A and B are shown apart, each in its own frame.
Chain A
């Protein structure tokens, strides 16, 4: 689904990503782990086109996308749930969800209804449709952000720390929702996560250190040392 090869990304003169290689097979869930500040978000932003890579190539469903603008990448089928959620603050929850429709390949057509599956996954949202996005709690915003990404029917879902700063009961809800999404749609997922329980849901992991991938493999063989070294727990 997604191949990243030999990616080098800089912020100004500081070298953040170093020769990153990674691949997400179709229909699989891949988890990216690493301590704070190693460059996980930077990698995701580069995949979305928010940052430019100096060298390297990104292939999505076999097509090179490095030169394609962010909004077109999204319409090709990449749904993004950023770190910090980035809900549009002074727009209602319903409008935030409708904005998710923009990601459909043909764009948004008129006022479509919000599908029931979204509310089945996140029942809280149904009662909050007319609230401002910025007024929701962190957990609700996170659920809204995932729901919004799903509105566009993506083929690859990119989640950046969806459980960061969220109370434990909601973490479990979000985890369960992601599992149900994968079971129902067969979507591929790229997840950045710090909670071991959630990491173990993935098929494959990549571990990052100082801007490079230093370990990878199946999550079933995640050893205690790797967990000690790369998870901030």
Chain B
């Protein structure tokens, strides 16, 4: 093997993780292992939900997949390429809105194109199209602060879609929204997902949300985060969330999660005593 040649991975899966782990502040006194031993394959077009107690490293894993942080163990690939840097192919959407308040909605949506030096007409066309897909074309010339929380998150989705990503990474994107808005946003996201054909990796700690959205639910253990189990959600879409099967899945996921939350609590209490 030629030296320094990046290791290749034959699978063309959207995301492949092999033995991935992350130790924050590695090599210092504050070093701590947030994530370890993650093996995961996400197929193109698949909807995968990460479920786990808070602090178990779900966001960390998304950052690693996005290429925003370097893994300290293992390696990640996306469509056969080693993940080393961020890429427009993998868009990340955050819990709090990360729209730039100094730009209008359409300028926010076309920010990635302006980075590439696209002309204004082209940017406006692409922005209009992306906003059309999230049903907010009318708000094109507004400022982000004029929009409601739900609308802002849809603009953030439009901004991600404008990059034509193959993988959408979403870190608790609807957590800050009220229950009714969240339910709507879930329907909306499923439409977008179907249209775009992208894989979605979606972090949540809501079991209902996981059952409503996922093809597969990845359940994490608490510190350091590991994959505890992967639960396939074989409900036909559009889903009837009041069906017997859906209820059974929710019970199953609740049981899986409860142990971890209990453990996380016990650990935090122990930490508080020793600190």
Q: Is the pairing of A and B real?
A: no
